[in-house]
Amino acid sequence: MRCSKRKCLNPAIIYQKYSGLHLCEAHFIEDVERKAKKEIRKELMIERGDKIAVALSGGKDSSALLYMLKKIFHPRSDLEFFAIAVDEGIKGFRSVTLKNAENITKELEVELHTFSFEKEFGFTLDEIAAKGFEQAPCTFCGVLRRKVIETKAKELGATKVVTAHNLDDEVQTISINYIRGDIERLSRLRGRREEFVPRIKPLRGVPEKEVALYALVAGIPISTVQCPYAKLSFRFTVKKMLNEFEMKHPGTKYSLLRGYERLSEFLPTAQPGRKLLRCERCGEASASRICKACEIVERMRSRKS
């Protein structure tokens, strides 16, 4: 099959069911990067002199993102990029992806700062999982990782934080909140708060499979190790459901995202003005008296055996 782009005679490497297009390697790369640039422009402009922290796990998404950012912004000498990696302490998994993170940052000449749950909070994710809380480990992991990235980005002087959430991640989060009826979280997903370093998700409009193909084409080594806890999460069930929908009804993920974007204009906390509290333990901005991360630390302390 040939590329669908006008006058292009190259063989296609992908068929996008949702757009009906066959794309060759060059046009595919162009398409992914166009979507990322559009998202950066729409979400939040990169400004002169920005110091940009890239949340890097060493998995395919964040590695591809770092590569892409360096490629897109290569001519901009006024911008500074650095990477933040978080070692949650997941045996047999994180050490592999962190090695990837080290390799790619070395190759792209980006400074890498690695922090661990163990050092920051006093326990690893494996230790949390061993406590047998009723929530899945991902719930704790997400809260703590976000906290580390936020505080360290701030400490390191970042003016923007870039994360590698792709289309699939984003519509999973939207769907999870719909299913739970969690309107507060749904609106927080989009709203920007001055208390936090502004976040950009350039891959938000790119399907997960295409991020993987982009990484493959760019020659980024992709590790096949999976987090052992992923399957325990509610997200995993939602992910399977959405993939099934997308197979039967191509374009479902995009329409979910667009529908949410339209809806978010009407959601309450997307409106500015409502002040956040300060966490009594750590002083970070928080929706409640004690932030979620400090709450986890307390729960771990009280379960020490």
Phi, psi of 81 (to 5 degrees): -115, 140
Q: How many residues does the chain have?
A: 305
Question: Tokens 């979507």, residue?
Answer: 35
> How far is the CA of 244 from the CAs of 232, 237, 239, 248, in angstroms?
19, 11, 9, 6
Complex with ligand SF4: residue 16 or 63, whichever CB lies closer: 63
Give the residue, chosen from 281, 285, 287, 300, that forms a contact with Zn ion under the rule CB under 5 A.
281
Which listed residue (65, 186, 294, 297) binds Zn ion by CB under 5 A? 294
Binding marks (x or -) toward ligand SF4, 129..148, rule CB under 6 A? --------xx--xx------
Residue position matching structure tokens 């993939």: 243
Q: How many CB atoms lie within 10 A of CB 17?
A: 12
- Which is closer to Zn ion, CB of 227 or CB of 291? 291
Give the x/- contact pattern for ligand SF4 in 73-102, rule: CB under 6 A: ---------------x--------------
In the complex, least distance from residue 297 CB atom to ligand SF4, rounded to whole angstroms: 17
- Report in angstroms how near the CB of residue 286 gets to Zn ion at its nearest: 6
Classified as helix, coil or strand, 159 is coil
Nearest-approach distance from CB 1 to ligand SF4, in angstroms = 35
Nearer to ligand SF4, 16 or 233 (CB): 233
In the bound state with Zn ion, the residue whose beta carbon lies nearer, of 147 and 201, is: 147
Specify the residue for token string 């962190």: 98
- DSSP class of 75: T
Nearer to Zn ion, 34 or 299 (CB): 299
Binding mask 194-233 for ligand SF4 (x = CB under 6 A): ---------------------------------x-xx--x
Q: Does 112 bind ligand SF4 (CB under 6 A)?
A: no
Rounded to 5°, angle at Cα 115 from 110 and 119: 160
CB 101 within 8 A of CB 59: no
Residue 14 pairs in a beta bridge with 23
Q: Which residue has the tokens 């760019």?
A: 218
Q: Which is nearer to ligand SF4, 44 or 230 (CB)?
A: 230
Question: Which of ligand SF4, Zn ion, none lies near 70, with the C-beta cut-off 5 to 8 A by kind?
Answer: none
Q: What is the DSSP string of 264-284?
A: HTT-GGGSTTPPPEE-TTT--
How far apart, in whole angstroms, are the C-alpha atoms of residue 97 and residue 115? 14
Is the CB of 58 or the CB of 137 nearer to ligand SF4?
A: 137
Partner from ligand SF4, Zn ion, none binding residue 142, C-beta < 5-8 Å depending on class: ligand SF4
The item of Zn ion, ligand SF4, none sharing an interface with residue 230, based on CB under 5 to 8 Å by kind, is: ligand SF4
Cα gap 8→5, rounded to integer Å: 6
- Answer whether 211's CB lies under 8 Å from 113's CB: no
Q: Which does 210 bind (CB under 5 to 8 A by kind): Zn ion, ligand SF4, none?
A: none
**Rule CB under 6 A: which residues touch ligand SF4?**
88, 125, 137-138, 141-142, 227, 229-230, 233
